[in-house]
Amino acid sequence: MPASRLSVVVTRRLPEAVETRMTELFDVDLRDTDAPMTRDELAAALRRADVLVPTITDVIDAGLLAQAGERLRLIANYGAGVDHIDVATARSRGILVSNTPGVLTEDTADMTMALILAVTRRIPEGLALMQSGEWGGWSPLTLLGGRIGGRRLGILGMGRIGQAVARRARAFGMQVHYHNRRRLRPEVEAELEATYWESLDQMVSRMDVISVNCPHTPSTFHLMNARRLKLMKPTAVIVNTSRGEVIDENALTRMLRAGELAGAGLDVYERGAGVNPRLRELPNVVLLPHMGSATREGRIEMGEKVIINIKTFADGHRPPDQVVPGML
Domain ranges in the chain?
A: 3-103+295-314, 105-287
Phi and psi at 144, nearest 5°, equal -70, 125
Is residue 89 scored above 60 in pLDDT?
yes
pLDDT at 326: 59
Q: Report the C-alpha gap between 150 and 123 in whole angstroms.
A: 20
Confidence label for 219 from pLDDT (cuts 50, 70 and 90): very high
Same fold? 3-103+295-314, 105-287:
yes
Is residue 35 scored above 70 in pLDDT?
yes
pLDDT at 2: 44
212 Cβ partners below 8 Å, 6+ apart? 156, 157, 224, 238, 239, 240, 241, 242, 243, 246, 247
Domain covering 105-287 assigned CATH 3.40.50.970 in the classification: no
Q: Residues in the chain, how many?
A: 328
Looking at domain 3-103+295-314, which of 3.40.50.1580, 3.40.50.11540, 3.20.20.70, 3.40.50.720 is its CATH number?
3.40.50.720
Start-to-end Cα distance in the chain: 29
Confidence label for 6 from pLDDT (cuts 50, 70 and 90): very high
Centroid of chain to Cα 309: 21
Overall average pLDDT of the 98-104 stretch: 94
pLDDT at 324: 87
pLDDT at 1: 42
Q: Which residues of 47-68 are buried (b: 16+ CB within 10 A; e: fewer)?
A: eebbbbbbbbebbbeeebbeeb
Overall average pLDDT of the 310-322 stretch: 96
Q: Are 83 and 215 in contact (CB under 8 A)?
A: yes
Angle at alpha carbon of residue 116, lines to 111 and 119, rounded to 5°: 120
Which residues are 194's β-sheet partners? 176
Identity at 27, one-letter amino acid code: D
In 3D space, the residue among 52, 23, 99 whose CA is nearest the CA of residue 293 turns out to be 99
Encode pLDDT of 131-184 as tens digits: 999 999 999 999 999 999 999 999 999 999 999 999 999 999 999 999 999 999
